[in-house]
């Protein structure tokens, strides 16, 4: 196959490496001519994913200079940039959505943005516990691709599935996208927990109750609850909340160390989707009438409204109730 990957950060680069390992041709699209020339010269992404050589089957081109037709296109840019890059994608093809965030303009998932920009295109969402460095190394990894079009999902699955990368199929596109986006918010909080020196009890409670919050919100937005128990939900949540390879987790660590949130994000060096996603998630929760006390408290901590001790007291002193919602009948 010939696959076009738009986005030459660590994630887009790692996905490109998987594809060429599986015998496919990749056109990796960067944001400008200078970066494309540098990557073609170095044959390695020294800025975002150093140590992994490009084979001759990876061709790097700047946006706007894409070549001929591809079997499908992968979007692996920060969510806020998706609209811009879709302007350079032809309508009517299969588009694999690997961006994990919510649209800052509308609050929608990336497939909503695709439907507005390229209504004849077929979305396939790719998500799961896929830290870019580990994926590039070939560490055993699993993912899920979701689409309402089973043939499109199967095409993308076959392209990525191979030694070291096991890819499943799901038809809950919205659920896979929401789980992948919202888990980034919880990862920031997990980083704060570890950065403050709390034990595993604290982080276990935070992550579990965080999962309950993002699941409630996701279901209210049209996702299936069970999707949050799969690779895009619990799987990605576990990896992102426990690894220093996770950008969002590292943002939380930095904030716990005293950094302002903007400085914490800058220190990561790449986009941490959890910060803008938190703002959008809180707005959506308010519109849907969903209680999200952990996310509300985390937001106030990141904004400097609440100190760490105040935040902990607020959460620990809340009224207790039945763990899973209403009292069972």
Q: Taking Cα atoms as reference points, which of 131, 77, 72, 67 lies closest to residue 99?
A: 77
8 and 151 co-located in one domain: yes
Phi/psi at 185 (nearest 5 deg)? -65, -45
Domain assignment present for 322: no
Question: How far apart (Å, rounded) are the C-alpha atoms in residues 136 and 66?
Answer: 24
Q: What pLDDT tens digit does each residue of the chain (329 aa) get?
A: 999 999 999 999 999 999 999 999 999 999 999 999 999 999 999 999 999 999 999 999 999 888 889 999 999 999 999 999 999 999 999 999 999 999 999 999 999 999 999 999 999 999 999 999 999 999 999 999 999 999 999 999 999 999 999 999 999 999 999 999 999 999 999 999 999 999 999 999 999 999 999 999 999 999 999 999 999 999 999 999 999 999 999 999 999 999 999 999 999 988 899 999 999 999 999 999 999 999 999 999 999 999 999 999 999 999 887 777 665 55
184 and 136 co-located in one domain: no
Q: Which helix (H) or strand (E) holds 6?
A: strand 2-6
Chain-centre distance of CA 292, in angstroms? 20
Q: Taking Cα atoms as reference points, which of 98, 211, 85, 89 lies closest to residue 145?
A: 98
228 and 261 co-located in one domain: yes
Domain assignment present for 219: yes
pLDDT of residue 178: 99
**183 contacts 213 by C-beta, under 8 angstroms:** no
Domain assignment present for 145: yes
pLDDT single digits (tens) 149-162: 999 999 999 999 99
Phi/psi at 50 (nearest 5 deg)? -70, 155
Domain assignment present for 34: yes
Question: How far apart (Å, rounded) are the C-alpha atoms in residues 242 and 38?
Answer: 33
Instruction: Out of 158, 183, 203, 327, pick the active-site residue.
Output: 183
Question: How far apart (Å, rounded) are the C-alpha atoms in residues 1 and 18?
Answer: 13
Q: Last residue of some domain: 171, 188, 204? A: 171
Domain assignment present for 86: yes
Q: Taking Cα atoms as reference points, which of 37, 47, 62, 54 lies closest to residue 10?
A: 47
Chain-centre distance of CA 278, in angstroms? 13
Q: In the annotation, is 183 catalytic?
A: yes
215 and 308 co-located in one domain: yes
pLDDT of residue 9: 96
40 and 138 co-located in one domain: yes
Q: Which two tokens stand for residue 175?
A: 């659920």
Number of structural domains in the chain = 2
195 and 234 co-located in one domain: yes
Domain assignment present for 321: no
240 and 261 co-located in one domain: yes
Chain-centre distance of CA 211, in angstroms? 15
pLDDT of residue 66: 87
CATH number, residue 309: 1.10.1040.10
CATH number, residue 37: 3.40.50.720
Tell me which residue range forms the domain holding 202. Answer: 175-316
163 and 299 co-located in one domain: no
Phi/psi at 53 (nearest 5 deg)? -75, 145
Q: Tell me what the pLDDT averaged over the chain comes to.
A: 96
Rg from Cα positions in the chain: 20
Q: Last residue of some domain: 113, 142, 171? A: 171
Domain assignment present for 280: yes
pLDDT single digits (tens) 36-82: 999 999 999 999 999 999 999 999 999 988 888 999 999 999 999 99
Domain assignment present for 251: yes
> Tokens 């790692």 belong to which residue?
14
pLDDT of residue 327: 58
Phi/psi at 272 (nearest 5 deg)? -110, 100
Look at the chain and count its residues.
329
Alpha helices in the chain (DSSP H): 10-21, 33-42, 82-86, 110-117, 132-137, 150-160, 173-195, 200-220, 236-240, 247-256, 261-268, 274-288, 293-302, 308-316
211 and 89 co-located in one domain: no
Q: Last residue of some domain: 171, 188, 213? A: 171
164 and 296 co-located in one domain: no
19 and 91 co-located in one domain: yes
**102 contacts 281 by C-beta, under 8 angstroms:** yes
185 and 125 co-located in one domain: no
Q: For the chain, how are helix, strand and coil distributed in percent, rounded to 5?
A: 50, 15, 35
End-to-end Cα separation, the chain, in angstroms: 54
Residue by residue, DSSP assigns 287-304 as HHT---HHHHHHHHHHTT
Q: Which two tokens stand for residue 31?
A: 């944001």
């Amino acid at each position: 196959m010939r696959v076009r990957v738009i986005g030459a950060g660590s994630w887009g680069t790692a996905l490109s490496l998987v594809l060429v390992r599986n015998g496919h041709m990749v056109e990796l699209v960067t944001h400008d001519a200078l970066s494309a020339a540098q990557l073609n010269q170095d044959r390695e992404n020294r800025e975002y994913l150093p140590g992994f050589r490009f084979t001759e089957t990876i061709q790097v081109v700047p946006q706007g200079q894409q070549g001929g037709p591809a079997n499908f296109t992968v979007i692996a840019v920060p969510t806020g940039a998706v609209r811009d890059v879709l302007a350079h994608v032809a309508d009517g093809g299969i588009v694999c959505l690997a961006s994990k965030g919510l649209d800052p303009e509308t609050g929608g998932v990336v497939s909503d943005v695709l439907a507005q920009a390229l209504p004849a295109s077929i979305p396939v969402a790719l998500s799961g516990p896929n830290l870019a460095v580990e994926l590039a190394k070939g560490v055993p990894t699993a993912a899920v691709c979701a689409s309402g079009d089973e043939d499109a999902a199967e095409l993308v699955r076959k392209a990525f599935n191979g030694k070291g990368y096991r890819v499943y199929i799901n038809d809950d596109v919205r659920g896979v996208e929401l789980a992948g986006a919202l888990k980034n918010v919880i990862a920031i909080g997990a980083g704060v927990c570890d950065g403050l020196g709390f034990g595993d009890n604290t982080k276990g409670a935070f992550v579990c109750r965080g999962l309950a919050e993002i699941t409630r919100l996701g279901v209210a937005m049209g996702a299936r609850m069970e999707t949050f128990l799969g690779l895009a939900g619990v799987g990605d949540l576990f990896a992102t909340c426990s690894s220093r390879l996770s950008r969002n987790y590292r943002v939380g660590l930095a904030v716990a160390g005293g950094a302002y949130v903007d400085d914490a994000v800058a220190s990561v060096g790449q986009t941490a989707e959890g910060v803008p996603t938190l703002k959008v998630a809180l707005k959506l929760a308010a519109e849907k009438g969903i209680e999200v006390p952990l996310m509300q408290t985390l937001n106030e901590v990141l904004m400097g409204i609440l100190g760490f001790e105040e935040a902990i007291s607020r959460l620990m002193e809340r009224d207790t109730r039945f763990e899973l919602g209403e009292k069972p009948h």
